Amino acid sequence: MRRDAVLKEIEQMMGLVPSFFKSLPDSSLEEEWQLFKKVQVEDTAIPAKYRELIGVGLAAVMKCRYCSYFHTEMAKLYGATNAEIEDAVHFAKASSGWSTYINGIQTDYELFKAEIDEACEHIRQSQMSETRRF
C-alpha cells in the first residue's frame, strides 16, 4: 500500500493522522499501521477496556507519559472508570515492586513455582467449598 493510502486509512479511522504516524519512514509505515490496528483497535480475546487497562499499568511501570496518556484516554473511551484506572496502576505498582524484590534477593525459582502452584490449588479448593455451601 502506498504511503498516501495508508495515511488516508489512518485519517478515516482516527479523524486525523497523528504525528507519530507521519514520522514513520515509508519502509515501515504500512507495517506499523497494520500492527497498531491489530493490537490496539481490532477485537481480540481480551475486550478493549481491559486491554487498555493493561496498557495503563504497563505505561505506569515504563514511566512513559505518551503511553500513559494514550492508554488512559482509550480506557476511558471504552468505559473504564477512574477507580478501574487507579486499580490498574496500583496493580502494576505492586507487581513491579514484588518483581524487583524477589529478583533482587534471588528467590529460588523452582521453589517459587511450587509454592504458587500449592497456593493456587488451595484457593481453587476453597472456592469450590464456597460454591457448594450455597
Q: Cell digits for 7?
A: 495515511
Q: Can you give the pTM of this predicted structure? A: 0.85
Please write the tens of the pLDDT for every residue from 1-48: 899 999 999 999 999 999 999 999 999 999 999 999 998 888 899 999
Q: Which residue has the cell 478501574?
A: 84
What CA–CA distance (Å, rounded) separates 1 from 15?
20
Cα 12 to chain centroid distance, Å, stands at 25
- pLDDT of 134 reads 60
| pLDDT band, residue 111 (cuts 50/70/90) | very high
DSSP label at residue 15: S
Which class for 53: exposed (0-12), middle (13-18), buried (19 or more C-beta within 10 A)?
buried
